[in-house]
Amino acid sequence: MKIRIYISGKVTGEAYLGCYKKFSDMEEKLKQCKYLVINPMRLCKPSWSWQRCMIKCVFYLIFKADVLLLLSDWENSRGARLEKRIAAWFKKTILEENEFFNG
């Protein structure tokens, strides 16, 4: 069974295209390592509210992911901090980007 990794990082307040690229680049790195990847930028439409996106993303985090991978900017994101608390509550493995690729 392949491990499913959910990517978490700062989205709100970021330029959409730059943010999309940041998540897509990480998705590609993880796929090259043979992981299944849940990229929240692919789950939500830019026009959706923060709450609507979080509901969908948290569903995927809880029911589809094995691991939460926190990008380096996660602490500056209300949504990523929430995702980390939820992942901990559901006893998911939580890794930070620098631990994952350097550890």
The count of structural domains within the chain is 1
Among 92, 82, 71, residue whose Cα is nearest residue 26 = 71
**Tell me, what CATH number does 12's domain have?**
3.40.50.10400
Write down the pTM of the prediction.
Answer: 0.94
Residues 6+ apart with CB under 8 A from 35: 2, 3, 4, 5
Residues 6+ apart with CB under 8 A from 33: none
Q: What is the pLDDT of residue 103?
A: 56
Boundaries of domain holding 73: 4-102
pLDDT for residue 101 is more than 90: no
pLDDT in tens, 28-77: 999 999 999 999 999 999 999 999 999 999 999 999 999 999 999 999 99
pLDDT in tens, 3-36: 999 999 999 999 999 999 999 999 999 999 999 9
Report the alpha-carbon angle 101-36-33, nearest 5: 40
